[in-house]
Amino acid sequence: MAAIEAEGLRKVFGNVVALDGVSFSVEEGEIFGLLGPNGAGKTTTINILTTLIRPTSGSAKVWGYDVRTETSKVRSVIGLVPQDLTVDDELTGIENLKLMASLYHVPKDVAERRIEEVLELVDLKEAARRRVETYSGGMRKRLELAAALIHRPKVLFLDEPTLGLDVQTRAHIWDYIKRLVREEHLTVLMTTHYMDEADANCDRIAVIDRGRIMAIGSPRELKAAHGSDVIELEVQGNGVNVQSLVKEVRGVLDFRIEGNRATLRVERGEEVLPELMGRMIGRGVTVKRIEMRRPTLDEVFIALTGRSIREEQGSWEEVFRQSLNIRRVRA
């Protein structure tokens, strides 16, 4: 059974088409990423799958339950870590967790043990009795993770789990997420617009743009299908025609030469690179510097959409929330 199955999801807000026929499925135990710019439809997808909003058309099942007709069953098997920091500032860590436990009907004695467990998982035992307003951004996010796990969900939804956190904290949060997935046997659907995070942490990725899924696959597959290796050289020609030399090498897709610098887009760089070096040295070209870059998801994204991940001006509300989040994170 697939943990999540979405079939032709469409969502229209007024005259804005937020989702335009989104289909994908997530296997049990997978970390599945929705990657796309702001406004691409990532959060709308999560909101539909978590029963917060109803699709205009199309259907989806989470853990076998229909998100339109079996809302309370869906709700009891999922955990949501929303984009915003929603743990309550004025309550302590434990109070926040107790609140979530009662909202999920976890019996009191079970809840007490479970709260200990999740606090342990996210390393918040010491701070648990302090009010959340004294927490750092990373600690809040960890508490948020703990709160989403209190009822032992099967599927965890993470909406931009590292938004607004500094680089170090981001890496840290990812360690925790991976630990949770391992120890709690979770299936994770997450959204992000950080390419590097999606690349490093997701089993599979769906690239989403303007409400449509452009490609689905593992980061490696996507990069192989939509990206290419880039080789950059700095050479001294010594009278040799570098241009015709490069043309002879198999696997070079295209290239650009400016003065003594050459940039090549190639297939299977690991094979092209030695051949290129051999030919150049054989003909007497001096290679001063050489560098090969593997494709990034950025390139995949550009190849798929023709654009770089763009920052879109959010609504007033979104801007307000984000600044609020950032303020909380910095506090």
Partner 1 sequence: MIGEISAIMGRELRKWVRSPPLLLMALIQPLFWMGLYGKAFNLTGLFNVPEDVLRSLPPESTKVVASLFNQMASRFFGSPGTDYFSFVATGMVSVIVLFVSVFSGMSIAWDRRLGFLNKLLVAPIRRSSIVLGKVLAASVRALVQATMVLLMGLALGMRLSPASPLLVAGAVASIFLLAVSLSSLVIAITLRLRSWEYHMAVANLLNLPLMFTSTALYPQTLMPDWMKPLATLNPLTHTIELLRSALLYGNSVDLAAYQFHLAYLSAFALLAAGLGSYAANRFLSAER
- Joined tokens for residue 74: 């869906």
Residues 1-40 that bind partner 1 (CB under 8 A): 13
Residue 123 CA to residue 157 CA, distance in Å, equals: 21
Contacts of 102-107 with CB under 8 Å at 24 or more apart are: 104/76, 104/150, 104/151, 105/151, 106/150, 106/151
Instruction: Tell me which of 61, 75, 114, 142 binds partner 1, using CB under 8 A.
Output: 75
109 near partner 1, rule: CB under 8 A = no
54 near partner 1, rule: CB under 8 A = yes
Instruction: Tell me which of 53, 257, 277, 302 binds partner 1, using CB under 8 A.
Output: 53
Q: Of the listed pieces 192-200, 226-234, 293-301, 318-326, which binds partner 1 according to CB under 8 A?
A: 318-326
Choice between 59 and 76, CB closer to partner 1: 76
130 near partner 1, rule: CB under 8 A = no
86 near partner 1, rule: CB under 8 A = yes
SS3 of residue 188 by DSSP = strand
Q: Of the listed pieces 76-84, 204-212, 223-231, 276-284, which binds partner 1 according to CB under 8 A?
A: 76-84
Task: Determine the distance from the C-alpha atom of residue 207 to the mean position of all C-alpha atoms in its chain, rounded to a whole number.
Answer: 10
113 near partner 1, rule: CB under 8 A = no
Q: What's the one-letter identity of residue 70?
A: E
50 near partner 1, rule: CB under 8 A = yes
Backbone angles phi, psi at 97, to 5 degrees: -70, -40
Instruction: Tell me which of 109, 126, 258, 317 binds partner 1, using CB under 8 A.
Output: 317
Strand duo 78-81 + 155-159: pairing: parallel
Choice between 151 and 193, CB closer to partner 1: 151
SS3 of residue 154 by DSSP = coil
- Joined tokens for residue 225: 């299908």
Residue 251 CA to residue 241 CA, distance in Å, equals: 19
Give the shortest CB-53-to-partner 1 separation in angstroms: 5
Residue 26 CA to residue 65 CA, distance in Å, equals: 14
- Joined tokens for residue 326: 């950032």
104 near partner 1, rule: CB under 8 A = yes
Q: Which residues bind partner 1 (CB under 8 A)?
A: 13, 47, 50-54, 72-73, 75-76, 78, 80, 82-86, 88, 90-91, 95, 99-100, 102-105, 317, 320-321, 324
